[in-house]
Structures are given as structure tokens and as C-alpha cells.
Structure 1
Amino acid sequence: MQSNYKPIGDYIQLVDERNKDLKIDLLLGLTINKLFIPSVANIVGANMRNYKIIRKNQFACSIMQVRRDGKMPVALLQEFDEAIISQAYPVFEVKDENILLPEYLMMWFSRPEFDREACFYAVGGVRGSLEWEDFCNMKLPIPSIETQRAIVAEYNAVKNRIALNNQLIQKLEETAQAIYKQWFVDFEFPDENGNPYKSSGGKMVFNEELEKEIPEGWEVSKLNDICEIKGGKRLPKGGSLNENKDGNPYIKVADMVNDKHLILKETFEYVDYRTQENIKKYIVSENDLIISIVGTIGLVKIIDRTLHKANLTENCVKLTNYNQTYSDVLYHSLVSDEGQRLIKSLTVGGVQGKLPIYNIQLIPILLHDQTVSLFNDKIQKINSNLLNFQKQTNSLFRLEVLLLSKLTSLKN
């Protein structure tokens, strides 16, 4: 341990301010990913006077079940001036911001190494919790306040660019989905004169399978008629995942967040080469679509070339060996409001539901080759920009990880 490492407890203090006068009604929850989110807890009949107040630049954390979760949830409030949180969460603040910046401390908490150390100190069996005293005894480097400001500014510049990219990605996704809805749901694709088809008097015919009118000449195909649908594979007994990039990436449902294209990220875990031999039939190929079928059901992603030959969890299926011109139509059909409602209706089971392959095979897809081709041309630029922003964000994420790793080498 370097000489400039100091106990966290020397620089923070607990805060216990209650919402006694009920002036604050913004209730936040704390996620395992170290974020505050609007709470979804049922507070009917709850005594809100007992809830803790947290103010801007104060922290909240959970020291329960740290070992079980493999992370210590802790977050810095910056989005709001004040809020309330569960009384179960310790709230603390930095004693002197001229010595330690809250943002710098949050950077330290964001390191994977911090979570591993917290897990090491956690006690209490399977649901091992971290004692407050042990948390306070954990150490961090305290460089000069000028150094802290410089590295926080650099880190925030990266984070802000990631946030901007994510906003642009979302707007592009929304634009592409709006075009899909206009063409394949409202049937207002351009006719031979460039006018909206349906509202310009385009001929419609009733389709019994969909129980609605569709444009003349269009066809409804079952998903298994236009592609192969194959399940992923559970790790064999004795198989394990690693973070050392030793082997092939292993795609989990947790990796399927946000963006349309699923790109290899630093957060992926890997299957070792020996285990890979036993599950190599369950790899994905570039441009395959994957759908989550257990847990968070109905997530849909297109496999980027960076994940070509990656392994797929048993909690997903892949759509493969299809006409590549159908890629975007398939994707948008499944993520559209109608597609998601259909997926929900095809899910079976209770609390732990599942979307069976035999139900996925029956999903109807509305196709018309000429319109599909025009749709691909229409959103080609959107797709290109989407992928570029995703790759930029991925590079920025690697830079973020690098900046966090540099904290251990900071000097006074």
C-alpha cells in the first residue's frame, strides 16, 4: 500500500436527516450499477417521515449482501438538489471538499477493484454484508486537490461524451422505428408515384391470420419459414467464465442493453478454450439476430462482427441463415410495440416466464421484397451512423476504464 493511501473513514461522515415535515416527495432507489433511479417501491401506507433525506453531493450506499452480489451499490447524488431514500441506506458526505472531491471519491468507488475489495471484507455467509467500520477502513490515494480536479474533469469529459452519444443513438433508433411504423404498420410507404400508399388509395386486402387489412401483394410468413431459430447453450458442468479475455466471448442477457448492434465490450466475460470445445455448436455469426427468452424477455440485438463466433447463453435464441435484406425489417418488427406485445403474449410460465422456441417459430412477419429493399435504402445512413456512434462509445468506455485504473498510481 502506497504511503499516500488513507482510510476512507478519515474523510467522510454519516448523515442522518429524516423527512419529518414531508417536504420532499422525490423517492429514489439505488441500483447495483451505482446509480440513483426513481423508486418503484410500493409506498402505500408507508411512513414517509422515516425516510432519509439525501442532498446534492452526498452519497448513499448499501452494505448488505455485498458478497452475494459481487458489488457494493454506492452512488453520488448529482442530478437533483435533494431527494429521499430508504432508511436502510447509510447516507454520508465528504467532510472537507477542499481536501477530497466527492466526484473523485465516486470515481474510486466505480473501480472493479473496489468492489472486489469490498467483497473480500464482507462477512456473514452467502449474503455476506460489509460492516461500516470495514468500509471506513478501506483506503484510497489522496492526491492534491488540483490533481483531483484535473482527473475528474478528464473523466467527466469522457462520461459526458458517452451520454451525448447515447442520446444520439436513441434519436437515430427512434427515427428508424418511426419509418418502420409508417411503412410496415400504417402502410404509408411510397407508392409508384412517391405518395403514401394507404392514404393515396392503395389497394388493401383482408388477411385472416393478422385479422386486418394489408397491402395487396404483401405476404405473411412465419419466422421459422424465413430463418433458422436455434437456442444457446448453458455452460457445461465444471465450465467457468473469466474476465481475462481467455477464449471466446460469452453473451449473457445482461450484455444486451441499449444499442441495436451488440458489440464486444470490456464488460464481456469469456469461455476458456477447453470449455469452448464442448459448446462450439452454439456460437453466433455476424448479422445473426438474438432474442432473450428468460429473465428480461424480448430484448433483440443484431450481432456485430466483433462478436462473430461468440458463445450464446441458453437464455437466448439466435435467428440465423436468413436473407440478409430482411435483417432490419426483422429487427424492427420484433422491437416494435406490436412485436413486443406479441412476444409478451407468447411468453409462458409464472414469475420466471420463458419465451419458448416453438412460440418464436410462429411469430408472423409481414414482407414485401420491393418495399423491404426500399426500406433498407432509406435507413442505410441511419444504420451507418448508429454503428459509428456505438463504436465511438465503446472506445470511450475503454478510455473511462483506463482513467479509473490510473487512480492507483496517483501521487501527492
Structure 2
Amino acid sequence: MPNSWCWTRLDNIITVRGGKRLPKGEKLLESPTGHVYIRVTDMKNNSVDLNDLHYIDDKIYREISNYIITKDDIYIVIVGSTIGKVGIIPNELDGMNLTENAARLTPYLVDKEYLLLALQTEYLQRQFLDKTNQVGQPKLALIRLKTSLIPMPPLEEQKRIAQMYKHLLLPVSDL
């Protein structure tokens, strides 16, 4: 690792918060209410698929309003066969509710795009799997997620890495 880089634990550079289960007996709605409930099945291609969203009513929204996710956050799946899947919240889902099967990562000392790339590396994905409880359905506890180690370059280098990665992924016709 370059001398200007360091190792740190995720909880030193992000805030981790869980999502929220629907209250007992409540069901998701298919007709729009203005309150999207983001499910793991909606999490695709490092973002959220907007094609089959489900909703909650005003009453449920108020009950679980502490469990929102914003466009500044990254989600990570913490339950089931897709543990470690990450993505960015589209602007149009800013302030919506997040399933209990995912966590909200709010970066504050790291570039969001760099963090997204780092979270997808084999190194971090292996840490997530190693920290997973295997009693019944696999689950990654938030406290274990927070202790994962990440390599940290200086902020400007993080931004350059993220930009270079985006450039490499552009189709030739876009260059």
C-alpha cells in the first residue's frame, strides 16, 4: 500500500444505520402513496430499480420515519444470499424508507464513489461474508459491518480513482 494510504475501520469514516421492518400485520401497497419502501428486490445495478416499487401509507411512514435513506447514502444488503450488495440511492428516492434487510451507510470522511467501489472489492466482500452469522438465514450484524477494514487513500486520490473507474466503464461511443 502506498505510504500516503492508511487502514481504517468503516465506522471511522461512515455512519451505519439499519432499515426498519413493517409493523406487525401491515402490508406493502402497490399504488403510489408518496412513501416508497425500498426492498432488497429493488436493489439492482448499484442503484435501485424504479420499475416495481412498493409503498407504505402515511400512518406507517410516520411510525417508521426514523428509518429513511437519502441520496447521500449507500445501501448494503445485510440479510440473505445477497449480503454485501451495495448501491447508491437515486435522487428521486431521497427520504424514502429502507427495508430491515439492508443498512444505510452515510459517508462523512470518504468520497462516496470511492466508498462504493471499495465496498464491492473482493477484500471487503470477503470480510462481510466472514462476519456473517449463519444461524438460519445469513445475517451481517451492523456492529460487525462497522469493524470491517478498508484501505484509505487521501481524499483527492479517492476522487481520482473513482473518476478513472467511471472513465474505464464508459462505452467507446461515449468517449
What TM-score does the superposition give when structure 1 sets the normalisation length?
0.39
Distance change in 2, residues 1:251/1:292 (3 Å): same
Residues paired across the two proteins, number: 169
From 16, 27, 41, the counterpart of 1:240: 27
Would the aligned equivalents of 1:221 and 1:365 in 2 still touch at CA under 8 Å? yes
Would the aligned equivalents of 1:292 and 1:299 in 2 still touch at CA under 8 Å? yes
Which string of whole-angstrom CA distances, capped at 9 and with x for unpartnered residues, describes residues 205-240 of structure 1? xxxxxxxxx211211111011110000001112432
Using the TM superposition, give the Cα deviation of residue 351 of structure 1 relative to its aligned residue in structure 2, in angstroms. Answer: 3.8
Which residue number corresponds to residue 275 of structure 1? 60
Using the TM superposition, give the Cα deviation of residue 328 of structure 1 relative to its aligned residue in structure 2, in angstroms. Answer: 1.9
1:261-300 matched pairs, under 5 angstroms: 261-263=47-49, 265-295=50-80, 296-300=82-86
Would the aligned equivalents of 2:113 and 2:159 in 1 still touch at CA under 8 Å? no
Q: Which has the higher contact order (CA 8 A, sep 6+)?
A: 2
Name structure 2 gaps, 5 residues minimum.
Answer: none
Which residue number corresponds to residue 35 of structure 1? none
Would the aligned equivalents of 1:227 and 1:322 in 2 still touch at CA under 8 Å? yes
Using the TM superposition, give the Cα deviation of residue 380 of structure 1 relative to its aligned residue in structure 2, in angstroms. Answer: 4.8
Work out which of the two has the higher radius of gyration on C-alpha atoms and give 1 or 2.
1
1-structure distance, mates of 2:13, 2:149: 10
2-structure distance, mates of 1:377, 1:316: 27
Does residue 374 of the first structure (1) align with residue 175 of the second (2)? Answer: no
Structure with higher helix content = 1
What amino acid is aligned across from residue 219 of structure 1 in structure 2? C
1-structure distance, mates of 2:136, 2:27: 27
From 99, 111, 119, the counterpart of 1:334: 119
Would the aligned equivalents of 2:119 and 2:125 in 1 still touch at CA under 8 Å? yes
Using the TM superposition, give the Cα deviation of residue 321 of structure 1 relative to its aligned residue in structure 2, in angstroms. Answer: 4.6
Structure with higher strand content = 2
Would the aligned equivalents of 1:260 and 1:302 in 2 still touch at CA under 8 Å? yes
Please give the root-mean-square deviation of Cα atoms over the aligned residues, in Å.
Answer: 2.0
Using the TM superposition, give the Cα deviation of residue 381 of structure 1 relative to its aligned residue in structure 2, in angstroms. Answer: 4.7
Using the TM superposition, give the Cα deviation of residue 365 of structure 1 relative to its aligned residue in structure 2, in angstroms. Answer: 1.4
> Percent of aligned pairs with the same residue?
32
SS in structure 2 at match of 1:280: coil
Does residue 354 of the first structure (1) align with residue 154 of the second (2)? Answer: no
1-structure distance, mates of 2:30, 2:167: 35
Using the TM superposition, give the Cα deviation of residue 302 of structure 1 relative to its aligned residue in structure 2, in angstroms. Answer: 0.9
Using the TM superposition, give the Cα deviation of residue 334 of structure 1 relative to its aligned residue in structure 2, in angstroms. Answer: 1.5
What amino acid is aligned across from residue 130 of structure 2 in structure 1? S
Name structure 1 gaps, 5 residues minimum.
Answer: 1-213, 387-412
Would the aligned equivalents of 2:124 and 2:150 in 1 still touch at CA under 8 Å? no
What amino acid is aligned across from residue 133 of structure 2 in structure 1? V
